[in-house]
Structure 1
Amino acid sequence: MGELTGKVALVTGGSRGIGAAIATRLAGEGAAVALTYVRAEGRAREVAERIEADGGRAVAVRADLTRPDDAAGAVERTVRELGGIDVLVNNAGFLAYGPLDEVSAEDLDRALAVDVRSVFLAARAAARHMGDGGRIISIGSCFNGRVPAGGFVLQAMAKSALVGLTKGLARELGPRGITATVVDPGPIDTDMNPADGETAAFQRSLTALGRYGEAEDVAAAVAYLAGPGGRYVTGTALAVDGGYTT
């Protein structure tokens, strides 16, 4: 039996990359898992089907978490179909890149909506159903601690705001035994940022280990925070960045 046997987790943006790795890892630890998607229905269902083929329970849920009704609906469906919610992983994100003069007001609104607003809405909805031992874990960015090049104003701003939101959640929900944390990945080999991409050599050079991480490295950190080992960790960020911020 895994450390999360009997628990229920909701992973936002769980159809690919880091989100899919997190959903799979939590399921491997025994949790029943709901995972959200906006457009990639086929990929989300593939992740859920793989989990079920391995003996787990999973459901794919279409939801735009920037919308209050969708955020609440994803939580309610998780509770209804899987029996509750113990762990919320806010993984859905918006990669905003571009020179300051080229950043539009729409880009600004989108970055805040996906990286901050959706987390607030999902956390608020999930906390209503969580009891002692509940976990809210959000996926941030190494840009919280280091911005080594231009073009990442929106990314650094939104993910830093996520840390402030998490500290507020930790303080408010702590008396109920609910923790709130952030995991800050560094360069991770995904289809959005492949280890053989145009900027990969530069990104590797910024890490102490000199290499990219894998999505499973982030998933392992989330599993730790979601499990018994993370019970006294709250209001803080855990860097999984190969020494990017050293």
Structure 2
Amino acid sequence: METSGSPSPLAGRRALITGGSRGIGRTIALALADAGADVAITFNRDTAAAATTVDEITARGRVGRSYQGSVVIPADVAWQMEAAARDLGGLDLVVSNAGTAGTGDPVVETDPAELERMLRVHAFGPHHVAHAALPHLRRNKRSDLVFISSVATDTHPANRAPHSMGKAATEALAHTVAKEERSRGVHVNVVAPGLVATDMGLNFARLSDMDLREREERSPFRHMCQPEEVAEAVLFLVTASYVNDVRLVVDGGTF
């Protein structure tokens, strides 16, 4: 929590984080609030978690709001952006974070419906977010659009093709938008974490029969990446003055 006299690098900024009720998204929301931003979150199902996150934002002395809907539905994303801009007095910082876990099947066993589901969330969803956010972001002298991706686009792990394909699409979108919007003051960057200690990350480890103790032992810093460490990367990108079209990997140098 911000203390009296401490700097507030995001004072006056208005942020929206998709998938902000839990995990990485929640941690990013709280980090941005700690840095002085008013913060709105979107969520799909967990109403109680969203309410708790908003309470934690307001406890920091910031404006907090939440909006329910799905990133795969363009109309949901559009009204969420409009509502956040109305309630916060504008938007100048958007983090496209909403994601979902896959089934962990090899390609030969992957149901086409599973592939479509994952691409709708991780490829179509970020495009819907960018499409709805950019008219608001363009109204500011400086604004930021950050996409949360994954080191899976480097490592291409077995049994994760739909996830890797979706995240590769996220990154292609980000690099394209960065070039399209830089003349309008919109900074567009990517944060690509490795395995993070969230419910989704631990579920992935379970599906992969991963030995978490062994993984932590071979990590350069002897611990699994924490969501706070991903939030630190986001905070750096949205406060750096001359950084654009960057993919920042947060995996401790593991790969």
Q: TM-score per shorter chain, which class?
A: over 0.9
Q: Is this contact kept in 2: 1:187–1:203, CA < 8 A?
A: no
Which residue number in structure 1 is paired with residue 50 of structure 2?
44
Q: Match of 1:192?
A: 200
Which residue does 1:119 correspond to in 2? 126
4+ runs of 1 displaced by more than 6 Å?
Answer: none
TM-score of the superposition, structure 1-length normalised? 0.93
The residue that corresponds to 2:4 in the other structure is: none
Instruction: Verify the 8 A CA contact 1:12 1:19 in the aligned structure 2.
Output: yes
What do residues 30-80 of structure 1 show as CA deviations (whole Å, max 9, x unaligned)? 111000111001100100011112211100110211111111111000011
Q: Following superposition of structure 1 onto structure 2, how do residues 6-155 of structure 1 map, counting pairs within 5 Å? A: 6-96=12-102, 97-130=104-137, 131-147=140-156, 149-155=157-163
Q: Partners of 2:222 and 2:99 in 1: how far apart?
A: 25
Q: Does 1:209 align with 2:218?
A: no
User: 1:193 offset after TM fit, Å?
Assistant: 2.3
CA distance in 2 between partners of 1:167 and 1:192 (Å): 26
User: 3-state SS of the aligned residue for 1:135?
Assistant: strand
**Distance in 1 separating the partners of 2:28 and 2:167:** 19
1:229-244 aligned at under 5 Å gives the runs 229=240, 231-244=241-254
Q: Which segment is superposed worse, 200-209 or 211-220?
A: 200-209
> Residues of 1 paired with 2:166 and 2:59: CA distance?
37
Alignment check: 8 A CA contact 1:187 1:241 kept: yes
2 CA distance for matches of 1:201 and 1:101?
30
Equivalent residue letter for 2:145: I
Residues 4 and 114 from structure 1, CA distance in 2 versus in 1: closer, same or farther, beyond 3 angstroms? same
Instruction: Please state whether the residue corresponding to 1:138 is helix, strand or coil.
Output: strand
Q: Residues 206, 109 of structure 1: CA spacing in aligned structure 2 closer, same or farther, 3 A cutoff?
A: farther
Q: Does 1:163 align with 2:175?
A: no
RMSD across aligned C-alpha pairs, in angstroms? 1.8
Using the TM superposition, give the Cα deviation of residue 203 of structure 1 relative to its aligned residue in structure 2, in angstroms.
4.2
Bigger CA drift: 151-160 or 15-24? 151-160
Q: Contact 2:33 / 2:60 at 8 angstroms: preserved in 1?
A: no
Query: In the alignment, is the contact (CA less than 8 A) between 1:94 and 1:110 conserved in 2?
Result: no
Look up the equivalent residue of 1:241 and give its one-letter code: D
- 8 Å contact from structure 1 (residues 211, 242) kept in 2: no
